[in-house]
Structure 1
């Protein structure tokens, strides 16, 4: 009987889950760096940062229902694809717009930021640099009723359809006076080296929709920007097609699956190596290249310039890693 009981206890001990490593701990960062060599992990978020806060920054609601048409480019034009490309260099007159890193603060509004950043880029690019304006993340976040749940997440496709059907006004970063509606959620200290911004709280409530400008000198409707109704589309799940789209029309919005190791990205070409899935995250792809024989997409994040490579990151290109190539949305501006 004692032998049977002992064996039962041993079996039970093997069935117990192993102790989980905290995803913001030094131990977890060491595990990441020991498993791979294409990127380096380090401390971005303070170890005591609320996990609800960092998980709340990942705000894409994925759906299997695809409502936008797929639009590709001629296969023969693949020969024109360069080995490296940076939209900031290609369209130098628009570099300030294309290169701006925004801060979604304590709100799961990445879906809105990725969209308005690419929209702003494309307005500048397709106007040959004549229209240097920022499309308002605040307006899209708060006023698009069909886009999702505001700071609790949203849909990529709906954001671009809303741009074509209802328009999105102008407006930039928190505290900026240029444009109609600036982002109203104050930037917070996501990261350990940030001694300027106030401490972050858990994800905030979505601000109310106010269809008027911050200044009485501007008119909300006059500041509206629109996408062309016949030119809002998905980009094919194909490396070359995504490259041709960016080469031809400018940066695109994309979504990918975030794992816990991503929060500690510092430099290099990201590949998932450790941690649990957290959720979907939206960003802007503005170029590509090769680093130490590893092909990558060049991506702008919206967690301010203290995160990653001054707000940017690189991610493995060509294998739809963590879904980065299967959720690409874009459109052309109405000028």
Structure 2
């Protein structure tokens, strides 16, 4: 019965997980004790041991990639998350020789509307903001299209596109990428550098302060002014040889901002939390990726459920034994009190009998003594009468003699 219940619960739980949720479960489980179950393999595993240069710029390494050399403008729509993730995906497609296009953020903000429930609810809301994790997994499963097919319109209220919005252009969806999510709290510099070298760029989340909007050049190294909200950008390189180490950033605020839309951003200090969350794309799938993790996750879920059930059973057993012991002690105490009361009653009863017997003896003694007194009295009376009779007789005897 228990195993049947576990099967039903597991089956029902699995139906609640869409593909994107299963994907993110895998990526987050990489940071848990279950990591060995989902061990990755392939070219990226050996890449970690390769020497990482002190300075790197994907734009110089891949100068023909349109996405790496183009700066787009999100305008007044809060779609930075879509620009950062589609741009990073287009960079990975280009450096791997799959496609060389400028991506369409418009398709992303209109079509990516699913939420991830694990570990926290993460949703994309078009022009009202989004999350890098959910966006990157949408791209892994649904690919990207070119900006030529679906040009940017600064409007996320339109229905999802099933064909190009521009007439005469055939819709082509570019797939073959896997989203890499190193962490959601703190990412090491080497992980970020590795992501840039593997995918051409990484999408990062950051906090924006007023000073960032006024940036014109140099290394941005302060967070002055009011906090304005969260933002997402791409990092395409770094420089550790400069007097102040920095990341090379491509923003989505047009070419009039910063240095033609780019920025040198302080590296190694997690300024504005820019080194806290990142995603990038690769053509190398993990040994177990999101589409294959459902069975393994179900096994883990069953194991956890069985363990939880065993703990509950053990707790109920211990509590039952404790209750039985308390009941037994209560019964023993009750029996002891009953026995004590019985003994007290018997002693009182015996004492009462003894008192009654002693009273009857005293009464008998009193009555016997009274009887003896009466007998003595009567005896004395008889003796007196006899003495009187004898005296009379003696008197008579005395008179006859005279």
Distance of 2:48 and 2:90 partners within structure 1: 29
Answering whether residue 89 of structure 2 is matched by residue 138 of structure 1, we say: no
Answering whether residue 273 of structure 2 is matched by residue 326 of structure 1, we say: no
Map 1:114-193; keep pairs closer than 5 Å: 114-127=84-97, 131-146=99-114, 147-171=123-147, 179-185=148-154
Q: Which runs of 5+ in 2 are unaligned?
A: 1-23, 31-39, 115-122, 285-402
State the match for 2:168 in structure 1. Answer: 217
Residues 6-52 of structure 1: CA distance to partner in whole angstroms, max 9, x if unpaired?
Answer: xxxxxxxxxxxxxxxxxxxxxxxxxxxxxxxxxxxxxxxxxxxxxxx
CA RMSD in angstroms, aligned pairs only: 2.5
Instruction: After TM superposition, give the deviation of residue 170 of structure 1 in Å.
Output: 1.9
State the match for 2:319 in structure 1. Answer: none
| Structure with the larger RCO, 1 or 2 (CA within 8 Å, 6+ apart) | 1
Residues 175-228 of structure 1: CA distance to partner in whole angstroms, max 9, x if unpaired?
Answer: xxxx3111123xxxxxxxxxxxxxxxxxx66444332212343343xx112244
Contact 2:91 2:199 in 1 (8 A): no
State the match for 2:247 in structure 1. Answer: 297
Residues 51-93 of structure 1: CA distance to partner in whole angstroms, max 9, x if unpaired?
Answer: xxxxxxxxxxxxxxx7534588569636x22221110111233
Distance of 2:193 and 2:48 partners within structure 1: 13
State the match for 1:26 in structure 2. Answer: none
Report how many residues are paired. 237
Contact 1:104 1:303 in 2 (8 A): yes
State the match for 2:49 in structure 1. Answer: 77
Instruction: After TM superposition, give the deviation of residue 305 of structure 1 in Å.
Output: 0.3
Distance of 2:193 and 2:268 partners within structure 1: 11
Contact 2:212 2:223 in 1 (8 A): no
Contact 1:112 1:137 in 2 (8 A): yes
4+ runs of 1 displaced by more than 6 Å?
Answer: none
Contact 1:235 1:245 in 2 (8 A): no
Contact 2:58 2:236 in 1 (8 A): yes
State the match for 2:60 in structure 1. Answer: 89
Q: Which runs of 5+ in 1 are unaligned?
A: 1-65, 172-178, 186-203
Q: Secondary structure at the match of 1:114?
A: helix
Distance of 1:76 and 1:311 partners within structure 2: 31
Answering whether residue 201 of structure 2 is matched by residue 251 of structure 1, we say: yes
Map 1:252-271; keep pairs closer than 5 Å: 252-271=202-221
Distance of 1:291 and 1:275 partners within structure 2: 29
Greater shift in the superposed pair: 311-320 or 324-333: 324-333
Distance of 1:257 and 1:121 partners within structure 2: 24
Distance of 1:254 and 1:145 partners within structure 2: 20
- TM-score, L = length of structure 2: 0.54
Cα–Cα, structure 1 residues 73 and 323, in superposed 2: closer, same or farther, change >3 Å? farther
Distance of 2:260 and 2:103 partners within structure 1: 22
Contact 1:122 1:332 in 2 (8 A): yes
- TM-score, L = length of structure 1: 0.65
Residues 91-141 of structure 1: CA distance to partner in whole angstroms, max 9, x if unpaired?
Answer: 2332x33110000011010000001111111111011xx621122111001
- Larger relative helix fraction: 2
Cα–Cα, structure 1 residues 124 and 154, in superposed 2: closer, same or farther, change >3 Å? same
Q: Which has the larger radius of gyration?
A: 2
Instruction: After TM superposition, give the deviation of residue 245 of structure 1 in Å.
Output: 2.0
Cα–Cα, structure 1 residues 206 and 104, in superposed 2: closer, same or farther, change >3 Å? farther
